[in-house]
Amino acid sequence: MPDAASRKVLLTGASGVLGRFLAVELASRYPGLVLTDILPFPGEVPEGARFVQADLADAEKIAKVAEGADTIIHFGGVAVEKSFETILPGNIVGTVNVFEAARVNRARVIFASSNHTIGFYERGKKLSVRDRPRPDGFYGVSKLFAEDVGSFYFDKFGIESVHIRIGSAIREPTEIRHLSTWFSYPDLLRMVIAAIEAEKTGHALLWGVSANTRSWWGEDDAARIGYRAEDNAEAFADKVAADPDDPVARRFQGGSFTSQGYGRAPEGKS
Ligand SMILES: NC(=O)c1ccc[n+]([C@@H]2O[C@H](COP(=O)([O-])OP(=O)(O)OC[C@H]3O[C@@H](n4cnc5c(N)ncnc54)[C@H](O)[C@@H]3O)[C@@H](O)[C@H]2O)c1
Protein backbone atom coordinates (compact mmCIF):
# COMPACT_ATOMS: atom_id res chain seq x y z
CA MET A 1 0.00 0.00 0.00
CA PRO A 2 1.26 3.54 -0.80
CA ASP A 3 1.59 6.08 2.03
CA ALA A 4 -1.55 7.84 3.29
CA ALA A 5 -1.40 10.98 1.17
CA SER A 6 -0.99 9.12 -2.09
CA ARG A 7 -3.89 6.72 -1.58
CA LYS A 8 -6.28 6.67 -4.55
CA VAL A 9 -9.67 6.50 -2.85
CA LEU A 10 -13.11 5.89 -4.38
CA LEU A 11 -16.26 6.47 -2.28
CA THR A 12 -19.60 4.92 -3.33
CA GLY A 13 -22.86 6.23 -1.89
CA ALA A 14 -21.27 9.69 -1.88
CA SER A 15 -24.62 11.52 -2.24
CA GLY A 16 -26.09 9.80 0.83
CA VAL A 17 -26.12 11.02 4.42
CA LEU A 18 -22.89 9.34 5.55
CA GLY A 19 -21.34 9.64 2.09
CA ARG A 20 -21.65 13.43 2.10
CA PHE A 21 -20.04 13.61 5.54
CA LEU A 22 -17.15 11.34 4.46
CA ALA A 23 -16.74 13.13 1.11
CA VAL A 24 -16.06 16.44 2.84
CA GLU A 25 -13.78 14.93 5.50
CA LEU A 26 -11.77 12.70 3.16
CA ALA A 27 -11.34 15.16 0.25
CA SER A 28 -8.64 17.16 2.03
CA ARG A 29 -6.81 14.05 3.26
CA TYR A 30 -6.80 12.06 0.01
CA PRO A 31 -6.23 14.34 -3.01
CA GLY A 32 -7.91 12.98 -6.14
CA LEU A 33 -10.76 11.40 -4.14
CA VAL A 34 -13.40 10.04 -6.54
CA LEU A 35 -17.06 10.17 -5.48
CA THR A 36 -19.86 8.17 -7.06
CA ASP A 37 -23.60 7.64 -6.57
CA ILE A 38 -26.70 6.92 -8.65
CA LEU A 39 -28.01 10.37 -7.62
CA PRO A 40 -26.25 13.67 -8.33
CA PHE A 41 -24.02 15.00 -5.54
CA PRO A 42 -26.13 17.48 -3.58
CA GLY A 43 -24.37 20.82 -3.42
CA GLU A 44 -20.82 21.54 -4.36
CA VAL A 45 -18.34 18.73 -4.84
CA PRO A 46 -15.63 19.21 -2.18
CA GLU A 47 -12.41 20.76 -3.42
CA GLY A 48 -9.87 18.20 -4.58
CA ALA A 49 -12.56 15.57 -5.33
CA ARG A 50 -14.48 14.72 -8.50
CA PHE A 51 -17.93 13.16 -8.85
CA VAL A 52 -19.10 10.53 -11.37
CA GLN A 53 -22.76 9.50 -11.49
CA ALA A 54 -23.13 5.71 -11.82
CA ASP A 55 -25.44 2.86 -10.90
CA LEU A 56 -23.68 0.20 -8.81
CA ALA A 57 -25.53 -2.45 -10.82
CA ASP A 58 -23.79 -1.30 -14.03
CA ALA A 59 -20.61 -3.42 -14.06
CA GLU A 60 -18.98 -1.55 -16.93
CA LYS A 61 -19.51 1.88 -15.38
CA ILE A 62 -18.27 0.73 -11.96
CA ALA A 63 -15.17 -0.82 -13.56
CA LYS A 64 -14.45 2.52 -15.24
CA VAL A 65 -15.09 4.64 -12.13
CA ALA A 66 -12.80 2.37 -10.09
CA GLU A 67 -9.87 2.49 -12.53
CA GLY A 68 -6.67 3.27 -10.62
CA ALA A 69 -8.28 3.08 -7.14
CA ASP A 70 -6.32 1.34 -4.38
CA THR A 71 -9.09 1.80 -1.81
CA ILE A 72 -12.86 1.57 -2.36
CA ILE A 73 -15.08 2.82 0.46
CA HIS A 74 -18.35 1.11 -0.40
CA PHE A 75 -21.24 2.95 1.28
CA GLY A 76 -23.70 2.95 -1.66
CA GLY A 77 -26.86 0.87 -1.88
CA VAL A 78 -30.34 0.60 -0.44
CA ALA A 79 -29.94 1.52 3.23
CA VAL A 80 -33.29 0.38 4.65
CA GLU A 81 -35.45 -2.74 4.62
CA LYS A 82 -37.14 -3.25 1.21
CA SER A 83 -38.37 -6.09 -1.01
CA PHE A 84 -35.75 -8.50 -2.35
CA GLU A 85 -36.30 -7.11 -5.88
CA THR A 86 -35.43 -3.62 -4.66
CA ILE A 87 -32.36 -4.79 -2.71
CA LEU A 88 -30.99 -7.02 -5.48
CA PRO A 89 -29.46 -4.60 -8.05
CA GLY A 90 -27.63 -2.15 -5.78
CA ASN A 91 -26.75 -4.33 -2.81
CA ILE A 92 -26.13 -7.76 -4.33
CA VAL A 93 -25.16 -7.18 -7.98
CA GLY A 94 -23.56 -3.84 -7.06
CA THR A 95 -21.41 -5.40 -4.34
CA VAL A 96 -20.08 -8.04 -6.73
CA ASN A 97 -19.29 -5.26 -9.24
CA VAL A 98 -17.37 -3.37 -6.56
CA PHE A 99 -15.35 -6.44 -5.50
CA GLU A 100 -14.61 -7.29 -9.16
CA ALA A 101 -13.29 -3.75 -9.65
CA ALA A 102 -11.25 -4.18 -6.46
CA ARG A 103 -9.79 -7.44 -7.78
CA VAL A 104 -8.78 -5.85 -11.08
CA ASN A 105 -7.14 -2.86 -9.32
CA ARG A 106 -5.78 -4.84 -6.30
CA ALA A 107 -7.76 -2.40 -4.10
CA ARG A 108 -8.91 -2.77 -0.49
CA VAL A 109 -12.68 -2.51 0.12
CA ILE A 110 -14.14 -0.80 3.20
CA PHE A 111 -17.77 -1.79 3.42
CA ALA A 112 -20.72 -0.25 5.28
CA SER A 113 -22.27 -3.37 6.78
CA SER A 114 -24.98 -3.11 9.41
CA ASN A 115 -26.29 -4.14 12.82
CA HIS A 116 -29.20 -5.64 10.84
CA THR A 117 -26.91 -8.63 10.17
CA ILE A 118 -27.58 -9.60 13.81
CA GLY A 119 -30.88 -7.79 14.41
CA PHE A 120 -32.75 -10.80 15.79
CA TYR A 121 -30.56 -11.21 18.87
CA GLU A 122 -32.37 -10.05 21.99
CA ARG A 123 -31.30 -6.73 23.45
CA GLY A 124 -28.73 -7.06 26.21
CA LYS A 125 -27.04 -10.13 24.69
CA LYS A 126 -23.33 -9.34 24.29
CA LEU A 127 -22.10 -10.34 20.84
CA SER A 128 -18.83 -11.14 19.14
CA VAL A 129 -18.48 -10.76 15.36
CA ARG A 130 -17.88 -14.55 15.40
CA ASP A 131 -21.44 -15.22 16.63
CA ARG A 132 -23.88 -16.69 14.14
CA PRO A 133 -25.56 -13.91 12.11
CA ARG A 134 -29.28 -13.38 12.70
CA PRO A 135 -30.36 -10.92 9.95
CA ASP A 136 -33.67 -9.13 10.37
CA GLY A 137 -34.59 -8.70 6.68
CA PHE A 138 -33.39 -8.82 3.07
CA TYR A 139 -31.36 -5.68 3.79
CA GLY A 140 -29.44 -7.47 6.57
CA VAL A 141 -29.03 -10.54 4.35
CA SER A 142 -27.54 -8.32 1.61
CA LYS A 143 -24.97 -6.99 4.11
CA LEU A 144 -24.00 -10.56 5.09
CA PHE A 145 -23.67 -11.39 1.39
CA ALA A 146 -21.11 -8.58 1.07
CA GLU A 147 -19.22 -9.77 4.18
CA ASP A 148 -19.03 -13.25 2.63
CA VAL A 149 -18.02 -11.96 -0.81
CA GLY A 150 -15.21 -10.15 1.03
CA SER A 151 -14.14 -13.39 2.71
CA PHE A 152 -14.19 -15.23 -0.61
CA TYR A 153 -12.23 -12.50 -2.44
CA PHE A 154 -9.59 -12.52 0.30
CA ASP A 155 -9.13 -16.28 0.37
CA LYS A 156 -9.20 -16.68 -3.38
CA PHE A 157 -7.56 -13.49 -4.68
CA GLY A 158 -5.91 -11.83 -1.66
CA ILE A 159 -8.26 -8.80 -1.88
CA GLU A 160 -8.54 -7.24 1.57
CA SER A 161 -11.78 -5.88 3.01
CA VAL A 162 -12.91 -4.24 6.23
CA HIS A 163 -16.60 -4.68 7.02
CA ILE A 164 -18.05 -2.16 9.47
CA ARG A 165 -21.31 -3.33 11.07
CA ILE A 166 -22.66 0.17 11.63
CA GLY A 167 -25.06 0.61 14.55
CA SER A 168 -26.75 4.04 14.52
CA ALA A 169 -24.49 6.57 12.80
CA ILE A 170 -26.30 9.78 13.68
CA ARG A 171 -25.18 13.14 15.08
CA GLU A 172 -26.68 12.47 18.54
CA PRO A 173 -28.61 9.60 20.13
CA THR A 174 -32.35 10.36 20.25
CA GLU A 175 -33.87 7.22 21.83
CA ILE A 176 -32.93 4.59 24.43
CA ARG A 177 -31.80 2.02 21.85
CA HIS A 178 -29.18 4.45 20.59
CA LEU A 179 -27.47 4.43 23.99
CA SER A 180 -26.32 0.94 22.95
CA THR A 181 -26.01 1.36 19.17
CA TRP A 182 -24.72 4.93 18.65
CA PHE A 183 -21.70 5.42 16.35
CA SER A 184 -20.58 9.04 16.50
CA TYR A 185 -19.49 10.76 13.29
CA PRO A 186 -15.96 11.35 14.65
CA ASP A 187 -15.65 7.63 15.57
CA LEU A 188 -16.95 6.66 12.11
CA LEU A 189 -14.35 8.89 10.46
CA ARG A 190 -11.55 7.56 12.69
CA MET A 191 -12.54 3.99 11.84
CA VAL A 192 -12.66 4.64 8.09
CA ILE A 193 -9.25 6.35 8.16
CA ALA A 194 -7.77 3.49 10.22
CA ALA A 195 -9.20 1.00 7.71
CA ILE A 196 -7.75 2.96 4.77
CA GLU A 197 -4.31 3.40 6.31
CA ALA A 198 -3.72 0.07 8.12
CA GLU A 199 -0.70 -1.73 6.71
CA LYS A 200 -2.63 -4.99 6.43
CA THR A 201 -6.23 -5.85 7.23
CA GLY A 202 -6.96 -9.22 5.68
CA HIS A 203 -10.72 -9.82 5.92
CA ALA A 204 -11.83 -7.85 8.98
CA LEU A 205 -15.20 -7.58 10.73
CA LEU A 206 -15.78 -4.60 13.02
CA TRP A 207 -18.64 -3.26 15.09
CA GLY A 208 -19.39 0.28 13.95
CA VAL A 209 -20.20 1.53 17.40
CA SER A 210 -18.79 4.08 19.83
CA ALA A 211 -17.42 3.15 23.28
CA ASN A 212 -20.95 3.15 24.69
CA THR A 213 -21.34 2.02 28.30
CA ARG A 214 -24.47 0.08 27.23
CA SER A 215 -23.05 -1.41 24.00
CA TRP A 216 -24.15 -4.96 23.13
CA TRP A 217 -21.17 -5.51 20.84
CA GLY A 218 -17.78 -6.76 21.97
CA GLU A 219 -15.09 -8.80 20.27
CA ASP A 220 -14.11 -7.74 16.75
CA ASP A 221 -11.06 -6.94 14.59
CA ALA A 222 -10.78 -3.23 15.52
CA ALA A 223 -7.43 -3.60 17.34
CA ARG A 224 -5.99 -5.37 14.28
CA ILE A 225 -6.51 -2.22 12.17
CA GLY A 226 -5.32 0.10 14.96
CA TYR A 227 -8.71 1.61 15.85
CA ARG A 228 -10.19 2.51 19.24
CA ALA A 229 -13.56 4.19 19.78
CA GLU A 230 -13.51 7.43 21.79
CA ASP A 231 -17.11 8.63 22.20
CA ASN A 232 -19.81 7.33 24.56
CA ALA A 233 -23.59 7.69 24.11
CA GLU A 234 -23.99 7.77 27.89
CA ALA A 235 -23.30 11.51 27.72
CA PHE A 236 -26.81 11.82 26.17
CA ALA A 237 -28.61 9.48 28.61
CA ASP A 238 -30.59 12.32 30.19
CA LYS A 239 -31.76 13.69 26.86
CA VAL A 240 -33.02 10.64 24.90
CA ALA A 241 -36.71 9.74 24.49
CA ALA A 242 -38.26 6.32 25.16
CA ASP A 243 -38.12 3.82 22.28
CA PRO A 244 -41.27 3.60 20.12
CA ASP A 245 -44.07 1.63 21.78
CA ASP A 246 -43.57 -1.58 19.78
CA PRO A 247 -42.96 -4.82 21.74
CA VAL A 248 -41.08 -6.62 18.94
CA ALA A 249 -38.82 -3.64 18.21
CA ARG A 250 -38.17 -3.23 21.93
CA ARG A 251 -37.17 -6.86 22.28
CA PHE A 252 -34.55 -7.19 19.55
CA GLN A 253 -31.26 -5.44 18.81
CA GLY A 254 -32.39 -4.51 15.27
CA GLY A 255 -35.20 -2.34 16.66
CA SER A 256 -37.93 -1.29 14.21
CA PHE A 257 -36.52 -3.35 11.30
CA THR A 258 -37.37 -6.54 13.24
CA SER A 259 -41.07 -5.72 13.62
CA GLN A 260 -41.74 -4.87 9.95
CA GLY A 261 -44.00 -7.70 8.72
CA TYR A 262 -43.21 -9.77 11.83
CA GLY A 263 -45.19 -13.00 11.52
CA ARG A 264 -44.49 -15.06 14.63
CA ALA A 265 -46.98 -15.64 17.41
CA PRO A 266 -46.20 -13.89 20.70
CA GLU A 267 -43.87 -15.90 22.98
CA GLY A 268 -45.59 -18.88 24.60
CA LYS A 269 -48.33 -19.15 21.95
CA SER A 270 -48.18 -21.61 19.05
N1 LIG B 1 -26.75 5.59 8.83
C2 LIG B 1 -26.66 4.52 9.60
O3 LIG B 1 -26.82 4.58 10.83
C4 LIG B 1 -26.32 3.18 8.99
C5 LIG B 1 -26.44 2.04 9.78
C6 LIG B 1 -26.06 0.80 9.24
C7 LIG B 1 -25.55 0.75 7.95
N8 LIG B 1 -25.48 1.89 7.21
C9 LIG B 1 -24.98 1.76 5.82
O10 LIG B 1 -24.13 2.86 5.54
C11 LIG B 1 -24.29 3.25 4.18
C12 LIG B 1 -24.63 4.73 4.11
O13 LIG B 1 -25.81 4.94 4.85
P14 LIG B 1 -26.64 6.29 4.75
O15 LIG B 1 -27.37 6.42 6.04
O16 LIG B 1 -25.75 7.36 4.30
O17 LIG B 1 -27.70 5.90 3.63
P18 LIG B 1 -28.23 6.77 2.39
O19 LIG B 1 -29.46 6.08 1.87
O20 LIG B 1 -28.34 8.20 2.76
O21 LIG B 1 -27.05 6.61 1.32
C22 LIG B 1 -26.95 5.53 0.44
C23 LIG B 1 -26.58 6.07 -0.94
O24 LIG B 1 -26.48 4.97 -1.85
C25 LIG B 1 -26.98 5.40 -3.10
N26 LIG B 1 -27.44 4.25 -3.90
C27 LIG B 1 -28.52 3.46 -3.68
N28 LIG B 1 -28.64 2.56 -4.66
C29 LIG B 1 -27.62 2.80 -5.53
C30 LIG B 1 -27.21 2.21 -6.75
N31 LIG B 1 -27.89 1.18 -7.31
N32 LIG B 1 -26.12 2.70 -7.37
C33 LIG B 1 -25.41 3.74 -6.84
N34 LIG B 1 -25.75 4.34 -5.68
C35 LIG B 1 -26.84 3.87 -5.03
C36 LIG B 1 -28.15 6.31 -2.75
O37 LIG B 1 -28.48 7.18 -3.83
C38 LIG B 1 -27.63 7.03 -1.51
O39 LIG B 1 -27.05 8.28 -1.85
C40 LIG B 1 -25.35 2.35 3.58
O41 LIG B 1 -24.73 1.27 2.91
C42 LIG B 1 -26.09 1.83 4.78
O43 LIG B 1 -26.70 0.57 4.55
C44 LIG B 1 -25.85 3.09 7.69
The domains found in the chain, sorted by start residue, are 4-259 (3.40.50.720)
Give percent above pLDDT 70 in the chain. Answer: 98
Output the pLDDT for position 201: 98
Q: Is there an atom of ligand 1 within 6 Å of 182 CB?
A: no
Q: Is there an atom of ligand 1 within 6 Å of 39 CB?
A: yes
Closest CA to 63 of 51, 54, 75, 50: 54
Tallying the residues shown for the chain, one arrives at: 270
Output the pLDDT for position 268: 58
Which of 55, 85, 114 has most ligand 1 atoms within 8 Å of CB, for mutation?
114
Q: Is there an atom of ligand 1 within 6 Å of 76 CB?
A: yes
252: pLDDT strictly greater than 70: yes
Measure the CA–CA gap between 18 and 261, rounded to whole angstroms.
27
Q: What angle do CA 189, 165, 91 make, to 5 degrees?
A: 100
Say how many Å lie between the CA of residue 176 and the centre of ligand 1: 24
3: pLDDT strictly greater than 80: no
Output the pLDDT for position 112: 99
Residue bearing the CA closest to ligand 1, atom 1: 169
| φ, ψ dihedrals at 125, nearest 5° | -75, 125
Cite the beta strand spans of the chain per DSSP E.
9-12, 34-37, 50-53, 71-74, 108-114, 161-166, 203-208
Say how many Å lie between the CA of residue 79 and the centre of ligand 1: 5
Q: Is there an atom of ligand 1 within 6 Å of 57 CB?
A: yes
> Which pLDDT band holds residue 269 (cuts at 50, 70, 90)?
low
The model scores a pTM over 0.85: yes
Contact 54, 41 (CB under 8 A): no
Q: Strands of 71-74's sheet, edge to edge? A: 50-53, 34-37, 9-12, 71-74, 108-114, 161-166, 203-208
Tell me the per-residue pLDDT of 198-228, one tens digit each, with 9 for 90 and over.
999 999 999 999 999 999 999 999 999 999 9
